[in-house]
């Protein structure tokens, strides 16, 4: 129990008659990166606001760092760090000045603040940019500075709400390497994202849609939970192929994935024969058909189909 950083039981939030977070149950441990995966409007940010002690639950319970979010939200706020999807920075201040400002908000005494600034500058790689104005940084470095601000008071729990939104792929990779280092130091990280490839990097993942947790587990467990088998079809024209193959016997679901189609099927051999026959009839060119392992995007698509949560 002492290793549990965040635990919720039937956590629910309503706005009037609309239920935005619906009986959510989560357990997140120290040293773990927990991915909270869902589309925009699924309920991710509302969950975060409740867990940060900003928004009171309508019902259910949650403890963060051992504190009850309903009974003791102010203690929760002292135990956590928070990184928003929009840069919470003063762009006309330098990197160091931003850190000094936020350190004073956290009421760090002068000597400790100086030490912590040096430590987070080294940890995030920002030391070489400490005299740069925040406005001069790229999106990736701005996000590192936002993470550095959130770490100044040494929280053991860090919330990151869409931390790599709008960040280029190389910077995204670097930010994730930083998150791994934090997890190795025992920090619990709850990361909201709608990027499937990012969710693959997490230790545990919960998929949320319309306020409900549809499934949770390790990325591998989620991939293995997909019913049936998957085949990948490379065909052109792609959307014409998608429409033609969707109603073939034995096709449980179909998803466009890049320049290919992923078909969830009950019998790969029979469906392949049906695909090639349909392609010939519909004048569709099929380059290849082969079995593949499910991705988290396939999991998400299959859950939406099962639960009827697609838009």
What number is the average pLDDT over the span 4-14? Answer: 98
What pLDDT digit, counting tens, does each position of 286-299 carry? 999 999 988 888 88
Assess whether 119 and 42 both reside in one domain. Answer: yes
pLDDT, position 18: 96
Q: Give the range among 85-89, 130-134, 224-228 with minimum mean pLDDT.
A: 85-89
Question: Rounded to an integer, what distance in angstroms lies between the CA atom of residue 146 and that of residue 85?
Answer: 10
Indicate if the pLDDT at residue 307 is higher than 70: no
What number is the average pLDDT over the span 191-220? Answer: 91
What number is the average pLDDT over the span 53-81? Answer: 95
What pLDDT digit, counting tens, does each position of 172-187 carry? 888 899 999 999 999 9
Pairing of strands 188-193, 157-161: parallel
In 3D, which of 231, 218, 214 has the Cα closest to residue 294? 231
Indicate if the pLDDT at residue 85 is higher than 70: no
State the pLDDT confidence band at 206, using cuts at 50, 70 and 90. very high
Question: Rounded to an integer, what distance in angstroms lies between the CA atom of residue 187 and that of residue 208?
Answer: 23
pLDDT, position 134: 93
Q: Which of 161, 192, 222 is the C-terminal boundary of a domain?
A: 222
Domain residues for the domain of 276 are 227-293
Identify the CATH number of the domain in which residue 251 sits. 3.30.70.100
Q: Give the range among 85-94, 130-139, 257-266, 285-294 with minimum mean pLDDT.
A: 85-94
Question: Rounded to an integer, what distance in angstroms lies between the CA atom of residue 111 and that of residue 55?
Answer: 34
Query: What's this model's pTM, rounded to 2 decimal places?
Result: 0.84
The count of structural domains within the chain is 2
Q: Are 211 and 42 in contact (CB under 8 A)?
A: yes
- Cα dihedral 255, 257, 259, 260, rounded to 10, equals -50
Identify the CATH number of the domain in which residue 201 sits. 3.40.50.300
Q: Which of 197, 222, 247 is the C-terminal boundary of a domain?
A: 222
Indicate if the pLDDT at residue 68 is higher than 50: yes
pLDDT, position 227: 76
Task: Give the sheet arrangement for strand 212-217, strand by strand.
Answer: 80-83, 157-161, 188-193, 33-37, 204-209, 212-217
- For the chain, what is the mean pLDDT? 91
Q: Are 199 and 38 in contact (CB under 8 A)?
A: no
Residue 249, token pair as written in the block: 């016997």
Please report the DSSP string for 59-83 in residue order.
Answer: EEEEEETTEETTT-HHHHHHHEEEE
Question: Rounded to an integer, what distance in angstroms lies between the CA atom of residue 101 and that of residue 86?
Answer: 18
């Amino acid at each position: 129990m002492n290793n549990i950083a965040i635990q919720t039981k039937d956590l629910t939030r309503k706005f009037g008659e609309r239920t935005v977070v619906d009986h959510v149950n989560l357990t997140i441990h120290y040293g773990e990166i927990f991915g909270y995966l869902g589309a925009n409007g699924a309920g991710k940010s509302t969950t975060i606001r409740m867990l940060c002690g900003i928004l009171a639950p309508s019902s259910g319970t949650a403890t963060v760092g051992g504190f009850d979010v309903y009974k003791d939200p102010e203690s929760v706020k002292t135990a956590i760090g928070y990184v928003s999807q929009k840069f919470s920075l003063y762009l006309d201040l330098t990197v160091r000045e931003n850190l000094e400002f936020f350190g004073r908000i956290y009421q760090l005494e002068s000597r400790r603040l100086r030490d912590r600034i040096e430590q987070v500058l080294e940890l995030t790689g920002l030391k070489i940019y400490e005299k740069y104005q925040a406005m001069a940084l790229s999106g990736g470095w701005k996000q590192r500075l936002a993470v550095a601000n959130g770490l100044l008071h040494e929280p053991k729990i860090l919330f990151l709400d869409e931390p790599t939104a709008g960040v280029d792929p190389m910077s995204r990779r670097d930010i994730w390497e930083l998150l791994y280092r934090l997890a190795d130091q025992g920090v619990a990280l709850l990361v909201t994202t709608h990027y499937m490839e990012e969710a693959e990097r997490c230790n545990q993942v919960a998929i949320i849609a319309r306020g409900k947790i549809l499934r949770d587990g390790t990325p591998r467990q989620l991939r293995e939970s997909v019913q049936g088998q998957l085949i990948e079809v490379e065909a052109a024209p792609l959307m014409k192929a998608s429409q033609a193959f969707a109603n073939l016997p034995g096709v449980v679901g179909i998803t466009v994935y890049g320049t290919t189609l992923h078909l969830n099927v009950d019998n790969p051999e029979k469906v392949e024969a049906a695909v090639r026959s349909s392609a010939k009839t519909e004048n569709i060119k099929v380059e290849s058909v082969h079995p593949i392992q499910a991705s988290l995007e396939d999991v998400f698509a299959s859950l939406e189909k099962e639960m009827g949560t697609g838009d």
